[in-house]
Amino acid sequence: MTAPTGTRAPATWRRCGALGLAVAVGTADWETSLAQPAPGYQFGACAEPSRAQWRTGPIQSLYLSMRDGVRIALDLILPEGAPAGSRFPTVLQSTRYWRAGDGDPPNATQRFFTERGYATVWMDVRGTGASGGIWRRSRSSMETRDYAEVAAWIAKQPWSDGAVIGWGISYGANTADFLAIEAGRRVKATIPLFPDFDVYNDLIQPGGIFHEAFGRLWSEGVKAQDRNEPRPGPNGALRGVRPVMGDRGEAELGRYLALRDTVPGIYEGYRVIRYKDDNPRGWDGSLDRRSTHAHFRALESSGAATYTWASWLDAGTANGALHRFATVRGNQRVVIGPWSHAARYSASPYQSADTPLTPSLEEQQLEQLCFLDQWVKKRDNGMRQRLVIYYTLGEEVWKTTPVWPPAGFRDTRFFLGADRTLSRQSPTISVGADRYQVDFEATTGTANRWHTQRGGGDVIYPDRRLLVYDSEPLTRDLEITGTPVAGLLIRPTHEDGAFFVYLEDVAPDGRVTYLTEGQLRGIHRKIALEPPYRVFAPYHSFHRRDAQPMRPQRINEMVFGLLPTSVLIKRGHRIRVAIGGADKDTFARVPAEGEPAFLVERNASYPSWISLPVRER
């Protein structure tokens, strides 16, 4: 029976090994850290941030030739009105979404920084916008080497004080990371807003299941940009990319556009990837090798202070931000909010759609300015502490902690039981299982956490029919903060499948609130012994060598992390675990053919469970 909703399992998990692998031991709960989270945080409230004392100068567009002769389009804007001979640190954004449209004035970010004594350089990455070259995939080695050359050029200019800052949202956030990786000590700070630390795990193939919707729709969108198809500008008028100033710039743009039309879209590479070490034709390395995590030692060596922004409700950005915080040494801050992509929309499921954005865009800018003033202008304004600033959904409160996971939370196991129950008591029955026929029409819709990257609106999960397990009503408030871990004992009918686990809050009136989710493809269930970075749940390599067909009609162990969250579930509410096998409008169908079903074991010999990092109030 399904309900509408929004080998034996190991006992619990401890850390071991050089990078913090989770492995099975014992049965007791354990406390995760020593530092208690502190409630409250005021954004942009540092001591003496830079004042708006200059004007935003005119846009100067130019071409800069790279080592192989490819010409990169740049927009330079300087503070205007400063004393002669003034030198400024420079905020650099490298983007594949057009550095600007034709006729656009300086944008709000450029104005904010130039008025406060920072130069800005916006760059079209190789093969995009008005730049030359060919773009086949994200962050190719040729593209990322360009970032270092642009940084070196900036440092030599008479208006530059030599300091370069990486700033950007989404794609631009990833380029900010690679700027530090490639340019090293020249980069004094980075502010990556919603980056992908591990692009396979956190965006393209979470759990080894292809994010079909993103791969297809994003590829179509960026291909349209590379053809220079007009799109709305700040005043609503349609326009193409800004050419570099002068007749030669117009001619060069036309020549570049003619060369791009026959280049395959990135979807052509995405759709053939199954394993993390796959390298599609025409690419210069796998998704794994061109992810930030594979170069974290270079990030450390750069010495750049980093302020990463992410959300509990935006793909896997929070997952990546916390993995980075735990792995990369140095001056780091992380903020994880209740937003959709880019922190332009407040998306807490416990608040109404018209709830004001928190913090406001102005407060976000001031917070970033405080950080840069601390590390670039050397102002002692209280931003030195290594810190995670996070928002607890349901409680609607900001908190801070210098370590992750924060203290006071204990990993507590809830077992799937008879009659669709969820209990802290392990099963005692000798036989017990629930059958689920995979519904390939089941969908979380097109406004879920995986679609927010293409628009940044509200995050909404509709009701759908899944296999659900509910706890008894809580007798006191319960906070969940950290990474839940699911342990399922599955008897499948096929050698492969997709397994989705959703964590939800069921109110006394029956209203279901989505909290987080995790997924794992059956062939990737083997737990890796050496994760490439510090993790908070069992790690799966997703490499070809570790793939294992499932054993039909036999027990298969599926132990995997859900995406992290922080939520307060109120007294009288129930905790729900929902299990499914497909998400039609987001993920690829697994297996591609057939009508699979599976049994979820829930008995004394083969208990299925979810472990939650909880603190009771």
Residue 250 has phi, psi (to 5 degrees) of -60, -45
Q: How far apart are CA 407 and CA 420, in angstroms?
A: 32
Hey, which residues does 12 pair with through a beta bridge? 25
> Residues 6 or more apart from 479 whose CB is under 8 A from it?
392, 395, 409, 566, 567, 568, 569, 614, 615, 616, 617
Q: What percent of the chain has pLDDT over 90?
A: 88
Q: pLDDT by residue (tens digit) across 404-432?
A: 999 999 999 999 999 999 999 999 999 99
- Written as one letter, the residue type at 32 is T
pLDDT value for 3: 55
Q: How far apart are CA 217 and CA 404, in angstroms?
A: 35
Tokens at 158, concatenated: 């008479």
Report the catalytic residues.
Answer: 170, 314, 341
pLDDT value for 1: 41
- The answer to whether residue 498 scores a pLDDT higher than 70 is yes
Mean pLDDT of the chain: 93
Domains and CATH numbers, the chain: 3-39+406-616 (2.60.120.260), 55-358 (3.40.50.1820)
pLDDT value for 75: 98
pLDDT value for 236: 85
pLDDT value for 246: 77
Q: Mean pLDDT, to the nearest integer, of 198-216?
A: 98
Q: pLDDT by residue (tens digit) across 501-559?
A: 999 999 999 999 999 999 999 999 999 999 999 999 999 999 999 999 999 999 999 99
Q: How far apart are CA 114 and CA 80, in angstroms?
A: 8
Q: How far apart are CA 289 and CA 138, in angstroms?
A: 12
- The answer to whether residue 69 scores a pLDDT higher than 80 is yes
- The answer to whether residue 11 scores a pLDDT higher than 70 is no
Q: What is the three-class DSSP state of 363?
A: helix
Task: Give the DSSP per-residue string, 394-405.
Answer: TTTEEEEESSSS
pLDDT value for 4: 53
- The answer to whether residue 264 scores a pLDDT higher than 90 is yes
Q: How far apart are CA 579 and CA 466, in angstroms?
A: 6
pLDDT value for 16: 31
> Nearest-CA neighbor of 293 among 276, 314, 309?
276
HEC per residue, 217-240: HHHHHHHHHHCCCCEECCCCCEEC
Q: How far apart are CA 168 and CA 183, in angstroms?
A: 16
Q: How far apart are CA 85 and CA 158, in angstroms?
A: 8
| Residues 600 and 579 sit within 8 Å (Cβ to Cβ) | yes
Q: pLDDT by residue (tens digit) across 36-59?
A: 677 789 999 998 899 999 999 999
pLDDT band at 247 (very low <50, low <70, confident <90, very high): low
Q: What Å distances lie between residue 75 and 104, 131, 606, CA to CA?
A: 11, 12, 61
pLDDT value for 14: 35
